[in-house]
Structure 1
Amino acid sequence: MNNVNHVLIQNGTIIDVENGSSFIGTIEVLEGKIRKVYKQGDLLPTGIGVQDAEGKYIIPGLIDMHCHINEGYAPHFVAAGVTSVRNTAGNVTALKRLIHASNDAPTPRVYSADRMIDGSPGQWGPTSFGNFVTDNPEEARKEVERQVKAGAKFVKLYGWIKPDVMEAAVDEAKKYGLEVSCDLLNSKEVTALDAARMGVTWFEHASGFAQEIYKGWNPLVDQSEWSHINWDEPDKEKIKALCEQMLTYNVKLCPTLVLFDQVNLFPEIWKPNNAVIESTYSETGLTKQWESLSQHAQGLKEKNGFIGKFTKEVAKTYFEMGGTVVAGTDTPALMWTFPGMALHRELELFVEIGLSEMEALQAATSKAAQSIGLTDVGSITPGKIADLVILNENPLENIEHTKTIHRVMKGGKVYTQEEILSHIPSDEFINELMKEFMEEWGEVTV
């Protein structure tokens, strides 16, 4: 559809995630922003284009709070109703086209970290454009400073980082007002409580909790020595006690339950039948990656999948205590974490662990936005950017209905899923972008 500067989305059921309610009403959109929200019976302006939403349900654009985006599959997110993403490590220079895309582009808004900071020898290999490996605190400080200048919105630390390096990186990030995130899934020296005490704010995958409860354990050690741990029945008392301590540091969790869930479900993975999933299968790079990893499914179950129930218990407990728990996917990590669509499965898993449908939606909209200080997205409120998803069925009755997408509005522009997917770039275009980036990156001191 053509861009319409002034439009009424009329007579739909508006889901107000900020107030936890819903009502039939009309949304006035002007120049890409929500101008006004009308309730049924209010006098509506005339002479404006109308998008009829009678019988439909309108939610804010969803936010994937943990992913690793690439231009090649960026449109898949928006086609799935995910209009913003938090990119937890990558390279902000490589993502500059996405970061600075037009307000109504068929790609998501990107809030991104730069390359992750890890300890030697580096879980993803030596220093590159995607990771920085060091055991030197001063080098970590300089890297944080470089990332700030490059435009990073937060700093990401990885699991083999040394304690003194973590402390230095956190201290340096604080000078610039940046939050620090960590992935401690494979951490050998730092636990979640250690990191919280140092000032780390974000705990991706709710990681490091197991290392704190079971001192000396990590997924890479001989698991036969830890056979006394019953991962299928997590120790709720120990988890509760640790969550109480973590709450005093006001940390935030993004548990990425779908990451573990797809491993545990394999080969019967979650794979709904829709246009976005179908299109994803044409992304040969992604499918080849997942198919290759699927050959090692049993090993992945033993290394990562088994901790899924523990992570669910951590997320559930921390949420019930009032802690911040938001929805993310780690797309395209491990197996079949479909861009955009995986977030819908994450919401289903949030409801499975005890959140209401409204609370699950809030974890991917208003509370997600609030958790990183985004004030212009996350709810259907006057003044905010008009990122909306129009659904055919009510997600408050069944969270699975978030998948029943009728239209997506991005920055005031209305799209069908097919229109968004038509913007998927060619492999040749992506290769050319990568070539240009590598030439530019070669001029940067790493």
Structure 2
Amino acid sequence: MSEQRHYIVANGTIIDVEQSNFFTGSIEIQDSKIKRIFPLNEVLPEEIPVIGAKGKYIIPGLIDMHCHIKEQFAPHFLASGVTTVRNTAGNVFMIKNLIHAPMDAPTPRVYSADRMIDGTPGQLGPTSFGNFVTDNPEEARKEVRRQVGVGAKFIKLYGWVNREVMEAVVDEAKKYDLEVSCDLIHSKDLHALDAAQMGVTWLEHASGFAQALYQGWYPMADQTPWSHLNWEQPDERKINELCQRMIAYKVKLCPTLVIFDQVDQYPHIWDTKNKVRESLEKENILIEHWLNMSVQHKQLKQQFAKLNHFTKVVAKTYFDLGGLVVTGTDTPALIWTFPGMSLHRELELFVEIGFSEMEALQAATVQAAKSIQLENVGSIKEGNIADLVLLNNNPLEKIQHTQDIHFVIKGGKVYSQEEILRHVPSKAYVANQLNEFEKEWETVEK
């Protein structure tokens, strides 16, 4: 594609997610930013090269607000039109190349937490590079300060954290103006309202709502006492009341509907045979992981399938009441959560539960960006970073059209999907980077 850094994308249909509008116009891009937007019929400067976009639909780059990115599959996000991701735990040292990549790199820009803070014995095992396990509030405060020092943009709590640690983390994070996020799916003792009352800002997976409604329930508990619950027809009055209370605390939801839906639908999972999927298959990236996870499908269904419809009801109720709900995927968690492409399935699911196509797009663009104070992405306006996706068909008529990508613009650079996927790193590079990370982490631990 064009290497021009001063050009005009001409005569496309621009979808204005800020104003819930669309119009035909042209976008002048210089270096990494949108310099000017020309309405239809305004004469374009003759000296500036033009990329024709007649018949195309231009949306802001999409934002995956909950994933766990790694270099080996980072290009797959961008090839899918996902130009920004919120990395909800991992290790900032492991993805430093992505975090500090150039503006126009063939990978998404990354807004990241560091390792999650969990309670004993640790859902992912004892303390490691990916999680910090403690029941001690002072140890947790020290970990927050360490994460601030290495550049974490927010703090992530995991489901076995105790009340004292949660309170301490929220208090310590506030000193640095950092939000706290938590995943309470497997929490035995705390629920969503507890977290909100303590000042947690983000509820990932809309987790902890079920525990708040059904005191003592959690996915791994003996389900016999809860056999009377109809998860397909939850008590919407109680959900409404709980959502109203949560909204009063200004909690933000990232429901990641796709992870529950893929488990619930298995073996008839959502899949798509496109360039991104073909690349994952060709390079054997994540495929074996999902195949191995799928062997446990009965256990996964027992734990997570019941949350599929329940989470959808929570997400739509929360949105209808005026709460903030954004799109995320938890890629590559559980089964067949394809990097980048899963966000398109999330958009489909948002529309299936009652969001309009525009509202779904807003949840993946402008609302997502504003929710984490990213002022220069998420919408098409002068002065913003030129992160754009050109589509062959109108996503406002059918949300599935977000998958029909003509090309992607990242930080002003124009890419075809094929060009992006040529940047998938080799297995030797990935192995070398992992080796370098392990050496660096040994130094950090000391």
Q: TM-score, normalised by structure 1?
A: 0.99
In the alignment, the residues of structure 2 paired with residue 34 and residue 285 of structure 1 have an alpha-carbon distance, to the nearest angstrom, of 34
CA RMSD of aligned residues (A): 0.8
**2:91 paired residue number:** 91
**2:232 paired residue number:** 232
SS of the residue corresponding to residue 414 of structure 2 reads strand
- Structure 1 residues 379-401: Cα deviation after superposition (integer angstroms, max 9, x where no partner): 00100000000000000000000
Q: CA shift at 1:315, angstroms?
A: 0.2
- Structure 1 residues 142-171: Cα deviation after superposition (integer angstroms, max 9, x where no partner): 000000000000000000000100000110
- Structure 1 residues 221-279: Cα deviation after superposition (integer angstroms, max 9, x where no partner): 01122101110111101100000100100000000000011111111111112101111
Report sequence identity in percent. 64
Q: CA shift at 1:344, angstroms?
A: 0.2
**1:314 paired residue number:** 314
**1:191 paired residue number:** 191
**2:54 paired residue number:** 54
**1:117 paired residue number:** 117
Q: CA shift at 1:445, angstroms?
A: 2.7
Segments of 4+ in structure 1 off by > 4 A?
none
| AA aligned opposite 1:325 | V
Equivalent pair of 1:3/1:412 in contact (CA under 8 Å): no
Equivalent pair of 2:63/2:82 in contact (CA under 8 Å): yes
**2:165 paired residue number:** 165
In the alignment, the residues of structure 1 paired with residue 59 and residue 336 of structure 2 have an alpha-carbon distance, to the nearest angstrom, of 26
In the alignment, the residues of structure 1 paired with residue 296 and residue 57 of structure 2 have an alpha-carbon distance, to the nearest angstrom, of 41
**1:18 paired residue number:** 18
SS of the residue corresponding to residue 164 of structure 2 reads helix
Tell me whether 162-171 or 284-293 shows the greater mean CA deviation. Answer: 284-293
In the alignment, the residues of structure 2 paired with residue 404 and residue 237 of structure 1 have an alpha-carbon distance, to the nearest angstrom, of 39
Equivalent pair of 1:8/1:51 in contact (CA under 8 Å): yes
Does residue 81 (structure 1) correspond to residue 81 (structure 2)? The answer is yes
In the alignment, the residues of structure 2 paired with residue 2 and residue 90 of structure 1 have an alpha-carbon distance, to the nearest angstrom, of 35
Q: CA shift at 1:282, angstroms?
A: 2.9
**1:430 paired residue number:** 430
| AA aligned opposite 1:308 | N
Equivalent pair of 2:72/2:285 in contact (CA under 8 Å): no
SS of the residue corresponding to residue 37 of structure 2 reads strand
Equivalent pair of 2:192/2:207 in contact (CA under 8 Å): yes
| AA aligned opposite 1:159 | G
Q: CA shift at 1:5, angstroms?
A: 1.2
| AA aligned opposite 1:249 | Y
Does residue 393 (structure 1) correspond to residue 368 (structure 2)? The answer is no
Q: CA shift at 1:2, angstroms?
A: 4.4
- Structure 1 residues 329-364: Cα deviation after superposition (integer angstroms, max 9, x where no partner): 000000000000000000000001110000000000
Q: TM-score, normalised by structure 2?
A: 0.99
**1:246 paired residue number:** 246
Gaps of 5+ in 1: none
* Paired residues for 1:332-343 under 5 Å: 332-343=332-343
Q: CA shift at 1:284, angstroms?
A: 2.5
**1:100 paired residue number:** 100
| AA aligned opposite 1:421 | L
- Structure 1 residues 401-420: Cα deviation after superposition (integer angstroms, max 9, x where no partner): 00010000011111110000
Does residue 409 (structure 1) correspond to residue 406 (structure 2)? The answer is no
**2:272 paired residue number:** 272
Q: CA shift at 1:3, angstroms?
A: 2.4
| AA aligned opposite 1:156 | K
Q: CA shift at 1:285, angstroms?
A: 4.5
**1:290 paired residue number:** 290
Q: CA shift at 1:58, angstroms?
A: 0.3
SS of the residue corresponding to residue 444 of structure 2 reads coil
- Structure 1 residues 85-121: Cα deviation after superposition (integer angstroms, max 9, x where no partner): 0000011111110001011100000000000000000
> Relative to 1, partners in 2 of residues 1:123 and 1:283: Cα closer, same or farther, differing over 3 Å?
farther
In the alignment, the residues of structure 1 paired with residue 271 and residue 405 of structure 2 have an alpha-carbon distance, to the nearest angstrom, of 16
In the alignment, the residues of structure 2 paired with residue 157 and residue 308 of structure 1 have an alpha-carbon distance, to the nearest angstrom, of 22
In the alignment, the residues of structure 2 paired with residue 392 and residue 278 of structure 1 have an alpha-carbon distance, to the nearest angstrom, of 20
In the alignment, the residues of structure 1 paired with residue 268 and residue 142 of structure 2 have an alpha-carbon distance, to the nearest angstrom, of 46
**1:344 paired residue number:** 344
Does residue 372 (structure 1) correspond to residue 372 (structure 2)? The answer is yes
Gaps of 5+ in 2: none
| AA aligned opposite 1:206 | A
Equivalent pair of 1:27/1:36 in contact (CA under 8 Å): yes
| AA aligned opposite 1:268 | H
SS of the residue corresponding to residue 359 of structure 1 reads helix
Q: Alignment length, in residue pairs?
A: 446
